[in-house]
Amino acid sequence: MSGTHAHSAAFVRGEMLPQKPAPASEAGALKWLRENLFSGPINTLMTLIGLYIVLHFGIEAAPWFLHSVWNAGSLSECRQIITETWGPDATGACWAVVKERWSQFIFGFYPWELIWRPVLTFALLFVALAPVLFSFVPRKLLAFSVVYPLLAIWLLWGGSPWVEIMIALGFVIGAVAYRVMEPRNTLVAALLAVILPLIFWGYISGPLDELFEQTIPLAITKVPSDAFGGFLLSVTLGVGGIALSLPLGIMLALGRQSDMLLVKALSVGFIEFIRGVPLVTLLFVASLLLNYFLPPGTNFDIILRVEILVTLFASAYIAEVIRGGLAALPRGQYEAADALGLEYWKAQRLIILPQALKISIPGIVSTFIGMFKDTTLVVFVGLFDPLKGITDIVRADFNWKGIYWEPYIFTGTIFFIFCFSMSRYSMYLERKLKRDHR
């Protein structure tokens, strides 16, 4: 009996075994390949087909890139260098056109002696965006983010800064009026925040602007809108459209869900009309028809007209994206806001909109990316976008006549960098705002 008990006794280890490495198939590159590229028959087949396509085009395009020429004064000189170096049947990219005309692709026809102004504006853009996009940046910089749009307009177009100062002063008057009246009556405060700036801009800012221009002249060299082009034009329209269309889209989304019939009807009508009309049509309206509705002799800048129509176009799509986010919220969130006794705007600002915007991040960023790429359509109204306008001008030069792929590849690469950066930031923001751990 004791012998049987001795043989059946469990063995208890008194020390821990050293940790062993995971099997090769369950760690590192092999695990990633197995899970992502060869997880099943269909996935394996698609991986092999994809590799074949990539290798085929890579082998075909490799000589063209490897035989690139960066130093030449014309396309014929590029071809001569390629022939002398790699033989008469060789082909190669002539990146010399990008090296020689890069300033036009980036700045259009902006005066070269004033090129420091768009460079400074672009550098300050990152300073203005930093506290908006990243929480670790000091919030005190938000004051500069508010001032930056008017500063950028003055730096890019030049002239007297008093026009921009008067615009800023109007917003300050509206903000002060809202802050003073908001504790007493929110509706009256909102009306005053709109009416008082309009009165100031319509009747007071003009004489004040003239007075300050005569007494304290601070003007810098003016640059006409015709000089804008390339990525300077695309970034100006894109950043302006993004900054303006988001708040307008939020208001349209809230208006579409409003219980007030007139507000809802106007919001729905605007959204459906804009979404049902091509952007090119709206650009032609901005270029040709808008002047017919203005007083004779009115000088309405073409870039400003295009900016307004691009903003309206993007805001209609953003409104629908945000409406989807609002509809995705559980009814309990609205009931919780009512239970806390919050009025409509406080409930939207503190509870509803933060959650709806979080849900809508992918759609909003997709709309922004599409709008930034659509800035190339301004070529149809006589502006020099980087893809078609500047490229056609470069190709019209006798020295570069016949060049084709290089300008488009260069322009497409820059667009990809901008759009890919926006996409990655949206993914970063989604991960940061994620609170559930499912």
50-62 pLDDT tens trace:
999 999 988 888 8
The verdict on 36 and 102 lying in the same domain is: no
407-434 pLDDT tens trace:
999 999 999 999 999 999 988 888 887 7
Handedness of CA 240, 367, 130, 197 (dihedral sign): positive
| Count of structural domains, the chain | 2
Tokens of residue 287, six digits: 């270029």
- Please check the confidence at residue 3 and state whether its pLDDT lies above 70: no
| C-alpha span between 58 and 7 (Å, rounded) | 68
49 burial via Cβ count (<10 Å: 0-12, 13-18, 19+): exposed
Q: Which amino acid is at 230?
A: G
| C-alpha span between 62 and 93 (Å, rounded) | 10
Domain-embedded: residue 91: no
Half-sphere CA count of 207, side-chain side, radius 13 A: 5
Between 174 and 342, the higher pLDDT residue: 174
Domain-embedded: residue 146: no
**pLDDT at residue number 431:** 84
* Cα–Cα nearest to 247, from 166, 364, 126: 364
Between 25 and 190, the higher pLDDT residue: 190
| C-alpha span between 170 and 189 (Å, rounded) | 15
**pLDDT at residue number 341:** 81
62-94 pLDDT tens trace:
888 888 899 988 899 999 999 988 888 888 889
The verdict on 316 and 360 lying in the same domain is: yes
Domain-embedded: residue 248: yes
Q: Among 291-300, 306-315, 429-438, which range has the highest average pLDDT? A: 306-315
Q: Which residues pair with 69 in a beta bridge?
A: 94
- Please check the confidence at residue 220 and state whether its pLDDT lies above 80: yes
120-165 pLDDT tens trace:
999 999 999 988 888 888 888 888 998 999 999 999 999 888 888 8
Note down the domain range covering 387.
98-110+225-433
Q: Which amino acid is at 13?
A: R
Complete DSSP assignment for 300-327: --HHHHHHHHHHHHHHHHHHHHHHHHHH
Domain-embedded: residue 145: no
Domain-embedded: residue 16: no
Q: What percent of the chain has pLDDT over 90?
A: 31
**Predicted TM-score (pTM) of this structure:** 0.83
Domain-embedded: residue 187: no
DSSP state letter for 69: B
- Please check the confidence at residue 114 and state whether its pLDDT lies above 90: yes
Mean pLDDT of 393-397: 89
The verdict on 341 and 409 lying in the same domain is: yes
Mean pLDDT of 289-293: 70
Helix, strand, or coil (residue 435): coil
Distant-in-sequence, close-in-space partners of 367: CB < 8 Å, separation ≥ 6 = 314, 317, 318, 321
Domain-embedded: residue 175: no
**pLDDT at residue number 295:** 65
What CATH number does the domain containing 275 carry?
1.10.3720.10
Helix axes 302-328 and 230-256, enclosed angle (nearest 10): 40
- Please check the confidence at residue 356 and state whether its pLDDT lies above 70: yes
314-336 pLDDT tens trace:
999 999 999 988 888 888 888 88
**pLDDT at residue number 437:** 43
Between 385 and 33, the higher pLDDT residue: 385
Average pLDDT, the chain: 86
Confidence category of residue 438, pLDDT binned at 50, 70, 90: very low
- Tokens 């709008």 belong to 371
Tokens of residue 2, six digits: 């004791």
